[in-house]
Amino acid sequence: LYVVAGVAFAAAIAVFYIEHGGPVLAVLGLAAGLFLVFGAIADLWYRAGFGKMAAEVAWRRLTGLPRSAFGTALAHAGLGVTVLGIVAVTTFATSHVLEMKPGETMEAGGYSVHFDGMQPAAGPNYKEDRGHFSIRRGGVEVADVWSAKRVYAARQMPTTEAGILTFGASQLYVSLGDPTRDGGIVVRIWWKPFILLIWGGTLLMAVGGFVSLSDRRLRVGAPSRKARAVPAGMGR
């Protein structure tokens, strides 16, 4: 039934595209990422023999697998997690560039970004105008963030310090632009869903590599020199 399953999956993708217009490639990317994660788990599952023998025996077989097997599974799962993060960010991320005045609100990623106003501040070698934003969900304030535009005295170089908030594996960025003539300011808001999966998957792959290298079977020892035979009569 592999061919039938492939045809059914292709038909489901076609129906999804006809009804919603895409993104079809995002669905395929998410499926590929999940396939890597579940495939890594399934490889250990079947090698241990779960479902074919008693659970205690299968558990002993699992714990007795070489470390390289676990390292491979971690690396493959990490690649799948990274793929999921990349697809989610490139497909579902949103960005807004708008003029905001104190008291105005913008929706991003299911959160309400409320602009509370500007406040001047000074650091050891710079001056800045800071914007305060309250983040609400369902009418309840869940966080707040500051975003600033700085000018360093030495070089008179303006920089933008974006405010970053993390919600689970997703992040919200708030950055300030130029002020407007009517008392507002340009605000840039980015919602990056599951962006931390990119870095989390990379770390998981690195851990998988270290686990594999810790396998005794993969260690290579330096060859030892053999003692040269001393000819008779030359020992003294």
Tell me the pLDDT tens digit for each residue of 57-110.
999 999 888 888 999 999 999 999 999 999 999 988 999 999 999 999 999 989
> pTM of the prediction?
0.78
Strand locations in the chain (E): 94-100, 105-108, 111-122, 126-137, 140-152, 157-161, 163-167, 170-179, 185-192
User: Structural domain tally of the chain?
Assistant: 2
Task: Mark whether 87 and 201 lie in a shared domain.
Answer: yes
- Give percent above pLDDT 90 in the chain: 47
Task: Mark whether 13 and 35 lie in a shared domain.
Answer: yes
Task: Mark whether 105 and 147 lie in a shared domain.
Answer: yes
Give the pLDDT confidence of 4-62 residue by residue, as tens digits.
Answer: 777 887 887 787 777 767 677 888 888 889 989 999 999 999 998 888 888 899 999 99
Residue 82 lies in domain: 2-91+197-216
Q: Is residue 222 a part of any domain in this protein? A: no
Q: What is the pLDDT at residue 222?
A: 44
Cβ 65 vs Cβ 44: under 8 Å? yes
Q: How many CB atoms lie within 10 A of CB 41?
A: 12
